[in-house]
Chains A and B, each alone.
Chain A
Amino acid sequence: EVQLLESGGGLVQPGGSLRLSCAASGFTFSNYAMTWVRQAPGKGLEWVSAIGGTAGDTYYADSVKGRFTISRDNSKNTLYLQMNSLRSEDTAIYYCAKTTSGCCRFDYWGQGSLVTVSS
């Protein structure tokens, strides 16, 4: 059974940093790209970042480029999102998603991790 478990969310002040983790199990982690999608309170879904299976390719939304860094440790079956220079508009639930067939078939999602940026 595929399982994705996010952690690391919380309350942080504007300008602060946070690192999210997504622990994966139930599939061969290194064979799949992984994606972060976020959802601001009461809003829709927004793609944030993605990384290839071997971590050679990374992609970012313009809204987070230069501030967020996606990475993975295939030996630990874990995906990360390092978030720096956080802004109030980054407040959201962050979901990690297993990604099949290239970019955008997000076939399994984690339960989400809430990040709140506020003073």
Chain B
Amino acid sequence: DMVMTQTPLSLSVTPGQPASISCKSSQSLLHGDGKTYMYWYLQKPGQSPQLLIYEVSNRFSGVPDRFSGSGSGTDFTLKISRVEAEDVGVYYCMQGIHLPPPTFGQGTKLEIK
């Protein structure tokens, strides 16, 4: 199975400060159709996961624009420009090209200082 490696596994951020999470895949996520099948999900405490970003950089409906995704090939980043208290939770990257199965990263826990 494709391995997705997230760093850091945890981070503590002061409200209003930026945060960044890296995700590296063991193989390129670029498909022959030109799309890169990389996703970011957030699981807030006690809740189901929710989609944040699809195909590297597209924010899902209702996701604040302080969230942005970037990257290509095997290296990807989720950035939060100004962290808010409601952003706490575990962030997961996921690949959707080398199937089955789609594979998730280990998760990155974001806490507020």
Contact = CB atoms under 8 A, between A and B. Distances in A.
Interface of A: 37, 44-47, 50, 59-62, 95, 101-112
A44 B107 contact: yes
Given A105-B39, A107-B60, A44 B51 contact: no
Given A44-B92, A50-B100, A103-B99, 6 more contacts: A45-B41, A45-B94, A46-B104, A47-B103, A59-B101, A106-B39
Contacts of B99: 59, 103-104
Contact of B101 (A61, A105, A106): A61
Contacts of B104: 44-47
A102 B96 contact: yes
A3 B49 CA distance: 14
A10 B92 CA distance: 27
A109 B100 contact: no
Interface residues of B, number: 25
Interface in B45-83: 48-51, 54-55, 60
Contact of B48 (A61, A95, A101, A102): A95
A101 B35 CA distance: 12
9 contacts: A44-B107, A45-B104, A95-B48, A103-B37, A105-B51, A105-B54, A106-B41, A106-B49, A109-B49
A107 B51 CA distance: 6
A47 B101 contact: yes
B104 to A, nearest CB: 5
B59 to A, nearest CB: 12
A9 to B, nearest CB: 14
B102 interface: yes
B94 A104 contact: yes
Contacts of A112: 48
Contact of B100 (A61, A101, A107, A108): A61
Contacts of B102: 47, 103-104
Contacts of A103: 37, 96, 99, 102
A25 to B, nearest CB: 16
A112 B47 CA distance: 9
